Structure 1
Amino acid sequence: MHIVESLDSNVKTDNKESKYSFRMFKESFFSGQAFGIEVERQDLIEGNIIKIERDSISKISNNEEKVRDLLKLLFNYKVSPIHLVDILGDYVDSYVSDFNI
């Protein structure tokens, strides 16, 4: 796995800070490449990590721009790793034809 792009954001509420990392990665797939997305959220109180959530979807598409657009969507709406599959599920299902396997 090779990280192609990473977008980071911080969200602060009363006494908690959440650091989000949205990463697009590529990996070898058959005779080409496939792109996927990983989302991580670290919850901190007074600078101490109290919880880490992480999820990813690999092999979304071999079209880099399609996956980059999904990465930006997740970043703009600060989607939690918990909801990653809920948000991207329909996109992933429709992009499977990109691979022409």
Structure 2
Amino acid sequence: MYIVDSLYSSSKNDNKEIRYSYRMISESFLGGQAFGIEAERQDLIEGNVVQIERDLIRKISNKEDKVKTLLNLLHDYQVSPIHLVDILGEYVDNYVSDFCF
């Protein structure tokens, strides 16, 4: 598995900073490539990481442009890793046909 693209954002409220990282990942699958997404959130207080949340969906599609669009969607709306599957679930269900089993 390797990282194809990454997007970052952050926000501050009171004394807490929240950093989001969204990574498009790729790995070999059925003689081709499968693209997925990893989302990570770090909560920082006074520059120290106090909590990390991370989730990923390893195989969304073998079409890089479709997964890149989803990566941008997550970034634009600062989706938490906790909601990754909730937001992308229907897309993943529809894109499974891209693999042509």
Question: How would you bin the TM-score normalised by the shorter chain?
Answer: over 0.9
1:30, 1:100 → 2: CA distance?
Answer: 10
- Aligned residue pairs total 101
Match of 1:93 in 2: 93
Q: Taking every aligned residue pair, what percent have the same amino acid on both sides?
A: 69
1:68 aligns with 2:62: no
Match of 1:23 in 2: 23
- Displacement of 1:12 in angstroms is 0.6
Flag as ranges the 4+ runs of structure 1 deviating above 4 A: none
TM-score (norm 1): 0.99
- Displacement of 1:13 in angstroms is 0.6
CA distances 1:23-53 after superposition (whole Å, capped 9, x unpaired) = 0010000110100000000000000110000
2:4, 2:62 → 1: CA distance?
Answer: 13
Which residue type is aligned with residue 82 of structure 1?
Answer: I
Gaps of 5+ in 1: none
| CA root-mean-square deviation | 0.4
Gaps of 5+ in 2: none
Match of 2:84 in 1: 84
